Amino acid sequence: MGQPSRQGIALFSVRIEFWRSTGVSVVAIPAPVPQIMSGSNPQGTSAICQNGTIAQSPLNVYVGQKIAFTGCVPLSVADLAISESWSPTPPTQGTAIASFVVTPVTIGAVTTYQESITDVSPTVCGTTQNCDFNSFYWTQSGSYTLSFTYILINGKQNSSTVTFNVSGPTGSNMIQTTMNTTGDVQIQLVGTTPPTPKLILNGTSVNGVQVGIEFTNNATSPAGNTGTYSWVQVLNSTQTHLLANAGLLSCPLAPQSGLDNFYPYPPASPTTTNDSPNNVLTANLGELQRSFNANMYLMWKPTADPACTDGASCTIPVPLGSVNWGWSGDAINTLSTTTGVNGTTWKLSCGTSANAFQASSAYPRWNNTVINGNVTCQ
């Protein structure tokens, strides 16, 4: 419980004098139950306490919906409040986030994607009638209770709580992967004029189509909110080593990491996406070795609460979890189509891996965008 400050004691003395003159003892004034109002309070003023909507408890909401509410000291004692507070503030770490924004930045013909994630900052109340909880988005399903307490100058206090029942998509294996662990890395002739040999991950057949790995969304949307799903792939490490005329080279010098080309990762169908990483093999190379490791995330964005008036910021995508996967391949130029495979002069050794889906509310993080195309070797 907070103690009255020196300033508060001085104010107390002044108010005792006031109440003496009116014949009412301030010591006897009770602290009525405060109210919690739901919705944004863009003005930040106490008008919401008179004109706002009282938050029903429990409030049924969805992960990714904007959560905004205000604690209100009853008007009859608002002048006597010396302390107001929310607890816990911020919400328990890992359950909520203040913002998640991805901004495309185009320079010339190149577009990169800058990510901005802000944690919820603690709400610091003053002594006005209202205390707006810093707005945020729940990122994890569950039941959470937040409490608003105020203390009057006479030491009396009272509290109110609001409980959020937070729903989100469910499923034990929300991303199902299909990937051959043997024979997935291949050397193939690709294109027409002329066909070019490639080291490519695409030995997995899915509905008659060859891919390296396929990801299927197996999540079930919560009742009452279908929402929309999206994919995000973050490269943890990708690098190629060469044996060429110039000797042993690394492309680039250090492994690359970052967002894989696009935000969000393009879907292949309403419920799936896939990936077939590849390297062009040119005749001047003796050997090319590629290593690749990435995390594919499944995100869900709810439909906004009809009462939310904050436009695009009414909802954000929230992560449901990810699959860590990787592969490596080593292509050797035998200089002869007799010893090479698939009509090329190349043969290979290789390996793949795909871990099980890990449910998590941890956001994909990246500092730069890795764009397909040419990679300089050193």
Partner 1 sequence: MGRINNMSNFLTYAILLFTFAIISVKPAESGLPEKASVSITISSTRTDIKLGSPLPIEITLLNTSDHAIVVEQDISRKAEFVYTINVFEASGRETPKTDYYGVHRGQPPKKPMIVEGSSIQVTVQAGKIIKDYADLNELYDISQPGKYTIQVERTDPTTRSVVKSNSIVVTVTS
Taking contact as CB under 8 A, which single stretch among the options 136-144, 206-214, 329-337, 358-366 is the one that binds partner 1? 206-214
Q: Tell me which stretch binds partner 1 (CB under 8 A): 62-70, 135-143, 157-165, 269-277.
A: 269-277
Residue with Cβ nearer partner 1 (125 or 175): 175
Distance CA 285, CA 170 (A): 48
CA distance 70 to 39: 8
Could you tell me which residues come within 8 angstroms of residue 339 by beta carbon, excluding any fewer than 6 positions away?
Answer: 345, 347
Identify the H or E element spanning 50: helix 47-51
Choosing from 10, 24, 209, 307, the residue that interacts with partner 1 (CB under 8 A) is 209
HSE value, Cβ hemisphere, 13 Å, CA-based, for 2: 20
By CB under 8 A, what part of segment 52-71 binds partner 1?
none
Torsion of CA 296, 314, 101, 146, to 10 degrees: -80
Residue with smaller CB distance to partner 1, 85 or 322: 322
d(CA 239, CA 294): 12
Candidate list 93, 192, 338, 367; residue touching partner 1; CB under 8 A: 192
Cα distance between residue 52 and residue 182, in whole Å: 62
Of 50-58, 88-96, 260-268, 313-321, which part binds partner 1 (CB under 8 A)?
Answer: 260-268
Q: Which of 89, 95, 135, 279 binds partner 1 (CB under 8 A)?
A: 279
Nearer to partner 1 (CB atom), residue 160 or residue 278 = 278
Q: Does 19 bind partner 1 (CB under 8 A)?
A: no
Residue 178: alpha-carbon gap to chain centroid: 25
Buried b (16+ CB within 10 A) or exposed e, 106-126: eeeeeebbebeeeebeebebe
From the list 19-27, 58-66, 196-204, 302-310, the region that binds partner 1 by CB under 8 A is 196-204
CA-based nearest residue to 212, from 200, 201, 220, 226? 201
Instruction: Compute the least distance from the CB of residue 256 to partner 1, in Å.
Output: 9
Rounded to whole angstroms, the Cα distance separating 143 from 42 reads 27
Q: Assess contact for 215 and 230: CB atoms under 8 A.
A: no
Contact between 178 and partner 1 by CB under 8 A: the answer reads no
For partner 1, the closer CB: 166 or 200 = 200
Q: Report the SS3 class of residue 74.
A: coil
- The residue within the footprint of partner 1, chosen from 104, 142, 266, 343 (CB under 8 A), is 266
Site for partner 1 in 287-326 (CB under 8 A): 288, 290
Candidates 135, 273, 295, 333: give the one binding partner 1 (CB under 8 A).
Answer: 273
Residue 169: helix, strand or coil by DSSP? coil
- The yes or no reply on residue 202 touching partner 1 (CB under 8 A) is yes
- Binding marks (x or -) toward partner 1, 216..245, rule CB under 8 A? ----------------------x-x-x-x-
Q: In angstroms, what is the minimal distance from the CB of 247 to partner 1?
A: 10
Amino acid at 192: T
CB contact at 8 A, 7 and 26 = no
Cβ contacts of 90 within 8 Å, gap of 6 or more: 96, 119, 120, 121, 122, 123, 134, 136
Shorter beta-carbon distance to partner 1: residue 174 or 249 = 249
Closer residue to partner 1 (CB): 194 or 311: 194
- Total chain residues near partner 1 (CB under 8 A): 50
Nearer Cβ to partner 1 (39/364): 364
d(CA 261, CA 371): 5
* Under rule CB under 8 A, residue 269 binds partner 1: yes
Indicate which single residue of 191, 336, 353, 365 sits in contact with partner 1 (rule: CB under 8 A): 191
- Residues contributing to the site for partner 1 (CB under 8 A): 108-109, 191-197, 200, 202, 209-211, 238, 240, 242, 244, 246, 249, 251, 260-262, 265-266, 268-269, 273-280, 282-285, 288, 290, 371-378
